[in-house]
Amino acid sequence: MKEIAQELRAARRILMSLHRQPDGDSIGSTLAIAMALRRLGQEVTVTSPDPVPHAYDFLPGVETIVPWRELGSAQFDLVALYDCADERRPGAPRPLRDYAPRILNVDHHATNSRFGDVVFVDPVAAASAELAYRTLELLGVTVDRDLALLLYVGLETDTGGFRYATTTPGSHRLAARLLDAGIEPGEVSELVYERQSVGGLRLLGLALDSLRLRPELSLAYFVLGDDAFAEAGATAQDAETIGIVDYARRLEGIEVAGLLRSDGPGEVKLSLRSKGQVNVAELAARIGGGGHERAAGATLMGDLAQAEEVLLGLFERR
């Protein structure tokens, strides 16, 4: 971790990127580091392969995020990534090496490929925000309300509101520090969770109707085609925001919940959530995906029916 802080301090021009379909942790931890480094007088560019979801548009610094294509052939001293489990996650149009001679990789996904020159992976951390906080401490930056807000959103969303088994005493201690810095949990929760779109809620309705139950496999999953999004008037972002897959995990007798959703022609996104007995990161890795023991995913080539066969095959051979 000290090396991480040293590397960040040594670079003059730093490029940071969110990961594809950025979540609260990717946005919160990345923007927190960027904000801290800017305060230290460093030049930081934050980019993203996908837009920031509406749920997170209130976070300080989101307005500074530029799309990859705007970077052109710009050169940096360092590419610094938080919450990116592999080199493809930032969705850069060119190899990361084309942007900077050094790559820094800080993450909490156990499946992290350990890419880059300086790597710090702590699978015990519930969120990359915990690692970002440790970085800020080492940088000697005071965590004021803006920084606390970024870290709190990362921590709160990646722990499912401190409900997931990844939540540790350390997560709660950090939350307490962030509350001391002025965070109002009720306010944040309303901003993140209670500004959802009607399209998202309609999509949830369609997903609930599509429920497939395989109790002999302890599996329940939803299937959403491209037409579902049009019918509901929803975007892929709405699907993420409303947390559709979690509704299937609530079922008694079910260990793993899944969501198969068509993501353009010939591509299906699979999300898996486990109650804990089944390591879904390991299952997802078998089909080219990754993630955490209890939350993982993969992108499957082919149509929905083919993706469903892959999913069932995975569980039949488990």
List Cβ neighbours of 209 (8 Å cut-off, separation of 6 or more).
none
> Rounded CA gap, 11 and 301, in Å?
39
Q: For Mn ion, give the closer residue by CB, 25 or 308.
A: 25
Taking CB atoms, the residue at the shortest distance from Mn ion is 25
Quick check: 128 binds Mn ion (CB under 5 A)?
yes
The least distance separating Mn ion from the CB of residue 24, rounded to whole angstroms, comes to 8
The least distance separating Mn ion from the CB of residue 307, rounded to whole angstroms, comes to 24
Q: For Mn ion, give the closer residue by CB, 45 or 128.
A: 128
- The stretch among 94-102, 125-133, 140-148, 272-280 that binds Mn ion (CB under 5 A) is 125-133
Closest CA to 108 of 159, 46, 50: 159
Quick check: 156 binds Mn ion (CB under 5 A)?
no
- The stretch among 67-75, 126-134, 176-184, 270-278 that binds Mn ion (CB under 5 A) is 126-134
Residue 54, SS3 per DSSP:
helix
Q: For Mn ion, give the closer residue by CB, 51 or 123.
A: 123
> Rounded CA gap, 116 and 132, in Å?
18
The least distance separating Mn ion from the CB of residue 18, rounded to whole angstroms, comes to 11
The least distance separating Mn ion from the CB of residue 97, rounded to whole angstroms, comes to 24
Give 30: exposed, middle or buried? Use CB within 10 Å, 0-12, 13-18, 19+.
Answer: buried
The least distance separating Mn ion from the CB of residue 69, rounded to whole angstroms, comes to 25
The first and second tokens of residue 305, run together, are 């029916």
Q: For Mn ion, give the closer residue by CB, 85 or 223.
A: 85
Quick check: 158 binds Mn ion (CB under 5 A)?
yes
Chain Cα centroid distance, residue 63: 19
List Cβ neighbours of 193 (8 Å cut-off, separation of 6 or more).
55
- The stretch among 22-30, 178-186, 247-255, 304-312 that binds Mn ion (CB under 5 A) is 22-30
- Give me the helices (H) in the chain, please: 2-10, 24-39, 128-139, 145-158, 169-180, 185-193, 198-209, 226-232, 236-242, 244-249, 280-286, 304-316
**x/- letters, 65..84, toward Mn ion (CB under 5 A):** ------------------x-
The least distance separating Mn ion from the CB of residue 112, rounded to whole angstroms, comes to 11
Q: For Mn ion, give the closer residue by CB, 74 or 124.
A: 124
The least distance separating Mn ion from the CB of residue 166, rounded to whole angstroms, comes to 9
Backbone phi, psi, residue 175, to 5°: -55, -45
Q: Which of residues 245-264 bind Mn ion (CB under 5 A)?
A: none
Angle between helices 185-193 and 145-158 (to 10 degrees): 60
List Cβ neighbours of 300 (8 Å cut-off, separation of 6 or more).
267, 268, 269, 270, 287, 306, 307, 310
> Rounded CA gap, 71 and 147, in Å?
26
- The stretch among 17-25, 98-106, 236-244, 296-304 that binds Mn ion (CB under 5 A) is 17-25
**x/- letters, 195..234, toward Mn ion (CB under 5 A):** ----------------------------------------
The least distance separating Mn ion from the CB of residue 83, rounded to whole angstroms, comes to 4
In which residue are the tokens 């021009």 written? 13
- Contacting residues toward Mn ion, per CB under 5 A: 25, 83, 128, 158
